Amino acid sequence: MKYKNIVFIAKSIDGFIAGKNGELDWLHSIPNPEGNDMGYLSLMEEIDAIIMGRTTYEMVLGFDGSWPYIKHVFVLSNALKEIPEALNGKVTILKGAEAEILKAVHELGYYKLYIDGGRVVQDFLKADLIDELRITTMPILLGGGFPLFSELPTSSEFAHIKTEVFLGQAVQSHYAKKK
Amino acid sequence: MKYKNIVFIAKSIDGFIAGKNGELDWLHSIPNPEGNDMGYLSLMEEIDAIIMGRTTYEMVLGFDGSWPYIKHVFVLSNALKEIPEALNGKVTILKGAEAEILKAVHELGYYKLYIDGGRVVQDFLKADLIDELRITTMPILLGGGFPLFSELPTSSEFAHIKTEVFLGQAVQSHYAKKK
């Protein structure tokens, strides 16, 4: 498949990607002495670019250290006007409907895309534009927070591709949308 | 462990146990020519009794064929007053708070319990009375319906016990509550 939109994200057993107060610490609660990346680097090699929302972008900007992405990042935002000089050529701000955004990104030569960020994933799912789900379930009930999934206009069948358990605790399942 | 409350339930990728109009057909959408029971019979052997809500009870009563349970069933309901004569000695109606219900059931000599039904599972989780989760994820986004999980007063850590993929498509993970 030339074009592919992939979601790669971690959730709690009860389907939250962040806790009631935005907590993300539970994502790192499993002892991981050898720094198992749970498929992240392999995804990075596989994709051409990343599409994320402003919240995710600003969270990553706020991290200590250098810009972590080796692939081009498209930030979806109506409000953002400019990016730090150091990110010139690495980050592009886009706005518009999901289908328009994809068209623009494809025309720039980026075909395999990692779709990231809570709202952006929900919007792409609503627009029926997700081809692959790679979901890692962490062994916790958060009890509330920001949900991975939201209401969809219709149901949507997927095929289970594979499931792998990382560090004995994190269950990652890959699904491909049935065409 | 002498006492144990186990949830054994199937959900969609997006966490629903029934569709927007109560649909359950998606639970049987995976070809299953040899009738793989996905751990159900082994659970039935393991438990002493089943606790379910009135909705689940009445749904099962409405099925064609004979009463399917080989273990005693406790139905939680304020409204139900009597049971069909044929179910005498097989079904008991109980009401009250979850902890009281457990006390009553334990006093009758039933210790290992299968907690079933959407609302009952949510109520037992809210009361922090679930020891094990055995959740089977079917490869579909329902997009809406009755959610498996609801808001909880606090987060709750579990340990991943095992994950098994049935029929190549249904991913079943077992979790035990951390004490």
B31 interaction partners in chain A (CB closer than 8 Å): none
CB contact under 8 A, A173 and B168: no
- Check whether A65 has a pLDDT greater than 90: no
A9 interaction partners in chain B (CB closer than 8 Å): none
| C-alpha of A139 from chain center | 20
A166 interaction partners in chain B (CB closer than 8 Å): none
ipTM: 0.96
pLDDT tens digits for range B153-170? 999 999 999 999 999 999
pLDDT tens digits for range B44-66? 999 999 999 999 999 999 888 88
Share of residues in chain A with pLDDT > 70 (%) = 100
- Looking at the DSSP bridge assignments, the partners of residue B102 are none
Which pLDDT does position B64 carry in this prediction?
83
Cα separation, B119 vs B125, whole angstroms: 10
Which pLDDT does position B65 carry in this prediction?
83
Which pLDDT does position B47 carry in this prediction?
98
CB burial of A117-139 (b: ≥16 within 10 Å; e: otherwise) equals: bbebbbbbbbbebbbbbbbbbbb
The 3-state DSSP class for residue B7 equals strand
Task: State the DSSP H helix or E strand holding residue B120, giving kind and residue range, or none if neither.
Answer: helix B118-126
Instruction: Give the pairing of strands A132-138 and A170-177.
Output: antiparallel
Distance from CA of A64 to the nearest CA of B (A): 28
- Rg of chain A (C-alpha set): 16
Chain A, nearest residue to B147 by Cα: A14
- Check whether B179 has a pLDDT greater than 90: no
Which pLDDT does position B122 carry in this prediction?
98
- Choose the closest CB to B143 out of A155, A163, A175: A155
CB contact under 8 A, B154 and A143: yes
A63: which residues sit within 8 A by CB, 6+ positions away?
none
pLDDT tens digits for range A122-136? 999 999 999 999 999
B149 interaction partners in chain A (CB closer than 8 Å): 13-15, 141
Distance from CA of B55 to the nearest CA of A (A): 22
B151 interaction partners in chain A (CB closer than 8 Å): 143-144
CB contact under 8 A, A159 and B153: no
pLDDT tens digits for range B4-29? 999 999 999 999 999 999 999 999 99
Q: Which of A121, A106, A131, A133 is nearest to A4 (CA)?
A: A131
Cα separation, B124 vs B53, whole angstroms: 11
Which pLDDT does position B1 carry in this prediction?
77
**Contact call for residues B59 and B117 (beta carbons, < 8 A):** no
pLDDT tens digits for range A85-136? 999 999 999 999 999 999 999 999 999 999 999 999 999 999 999 999 999 9
CB contact under 8 A, A153 and B165: no
Hey, what domains does chain B have and what are their CATH numbers?
Answer: 4-21+36-177 (3.40.430.10)
Distances (CA, A) of A21 to A25, A62, A124, A145, B129: 11, 17, 25, 7, 25
DSSP-assigned letter for residue B23: -
The 3-state DSSP class for residue A101 equals helix
The model's pTM: 0.96
- Choose the closest CB to B140 out of A15, A158, A169: A158
